[in-house]
Amino acid sequence: MRYQICVSGAASGDTVTASHQLAYDLGKAIATQHKTLLTGATVGLPHYAAMGFASVEETRGISVGFSPASSFREHVGVYKLPTKEFDYINFTGMEYVGRDVHLVRSADAVVTVGGRMGSLHELATALESRKVCGVLMGSGGLADYIPTLLDHVEAPGARDIIFDTDPDRLIAKVIEALDEKYEDFEHDGTDKYLSKRYSKKG
């Protein structure tokens, strides 16, 4: 299945300097697996993920950015956000907080790399929405604090969060978890996925 995998991370700060290559490798791994990349259409680590995705010449997936702006003009002129790495930009008009919710709710899985308070908002939304969640350990910021946070704050699905230090391995584990989540779905030979529960008589 062509899962939509969101990469969530800091737009600026120390983790961008320290972990931009890790974010790039996450995007590249998602493209190599022929999945769709979702980001906040922003700078920093999500942008590096989009660049890594775009570096793979042959991919069946696409790169989709969820912008806080309501138009291309506002995206570029007011928010000063990038455009060229995306195959499509969804101009949500929801500013940053609303954009985050729309982005996460549209994803099948959310992967955290580095991260600040905005990434925490996205992680909390992902957990409350029962999304498959992955965390790239060793990328600094929020990512490395998530185990400690979950030791003290109860969250739905916390036990199912996937942790790894290697981008390729993490994405492979996330896809495996998605395959298990959607194991009751089968491809019907066209472009549709049908639930096995309802595709057979009886």
Determine whether 134 is exposed, middle or buried from the number of CB atoms within 10 Å of its CB (0-12, 13-18, 19+). Answer: buried
- DSSP symbol at 40: -
Quote the pLDDT of residue 202. 40
Q: Is the dihedral of CA 28, 33, 34, 36 positive or negative?
A: negative
Among candidate residues 149, 177, 199, the one with its CA nearest the CA of residue 1: 177
Q: Beta strand 63-67 with 109-113: parallel, antiparallel or unpaired?
A: unpaired
Tally of CB atoms within 10 A around 168: 15
What digits encode the pLDDT tens for the residues 66-98? Answer: 999 999 999 999 999 999 999 999 999 999 999
pLDDT tens per residue, range 127-158 = 999 999 999 999 999 999 999 999 999 999 99
**Structural domains counted in the chain:** 1
C-alpha 55/C-alpha 31 separation (Å) is 9
pTM of the model: 0.91
User: Residue 57's pLDDT is what?
Assistant: 85
Amino acid at 76: V
Determine how β-strand 63-67 pairs with β-strand 88-91: parallel
CA-closest candidate to residue 100, choices 6, 174, 30: 6
**pLDDT of 191 over the 70 cut:** no
Count of CA atoms in the C-beta half-sphere (13 A) of 120: 11
pLDDT tens-digit readout, 9-63: 999 999 999 999 999 999 999 999 999 999 999 999 999 999 999 999 876 689 9
Contact at 8 Å (CB) between 7 and 54?
no
Range of the domain at 167: 4-199
> In angstroms, rounded to a whole number, what is the distance separating the alpha carbons of residues 124 and 104?
10
Give the CATH number, domain containing residue 178. Answer: 3.40.50.450
CB-CB contact of 57 with 88 (8 Å):
no
